[in-house]
Amino acid sequence: MTKPPHLYRDPEPEARDDLLLEIAVGNSRRRLELSDRVVSLLVDDLGYEQPDVVPFLLAKAFVLAGGATLPERGGDDERDLAWRLGGADGGRRPSSADLERTATYLESVEVPDRSLEPLRELVRSSRLADVCDPEDIRDRSERVNRLRDIARDL
């Protein structure tokens, strides 16, 4: 069984003090960099800290939304990385607060174009659907078009 995703901070004194997400990617464990918004959501809003286990559903949503990335991209985009994630069979179940805050996050960020549909499908097929309408998740082009329509109506 794969070890579930958890928060990690490098113990070396000369290392950066960034909070990372350690998760199975393919056949190895990798440490993903988290955006400031994801760190704020997890730590400030939800009270997570190192070495807390992060629900796999949230980890995958953060990857698809572009909020958790490999430090060295290596040609992988968010969708490709999400497909290679492991650890869905164990770990922590998301609380209602986890789901609500993650839904708010997903509705407020510009999702990379290629991962928009996989993210919407993840929402539809999970408990996120109870608190998030998949159609409220948008990519950059949809947001720009919506703003253009608003400007035209003015």
Question: Is residue 93 predicted with pLDDT exceeding 70?
Answer: yes
Domain boundaries, the chain: 6-153
pLDDT at 6: 94
Task: Give 23's strand partners.
Answer: 30
Separation in Å, CA 13 to CA 9, 10, 16, 40: 11, 8, 8, 23
Question: Is residue 29 predicted with pLDDT exceeding 80?
Answer: yes
User: What is the separation, in whole angstroms, between the first and last Cα of the chain?
Assistant: 56
pLDDT at 145: 55
C-alpha–C-alpha distance, residues 29 and 63, integer Å? 15
pLDDT at 3: 84
pLDDT at 1: 56
Question: Taking a C-beta distance cutoff of 8 angstroms, is the pair 34, 20 a contact?
Answer: yes
Instruction: Write down the mean pLDDT value for the chain.
Output: 88
Question: Is residue 87 predicted with pLDDT exceeding 80?
Answer: no
Question: Taking a C-beta distance cutoff of 8 angstroms, is the pair 37, 67 a contact?
Answer: yes
* pLDDT confidence tier of residue 56, bands split at 50, 70 and 90: very high
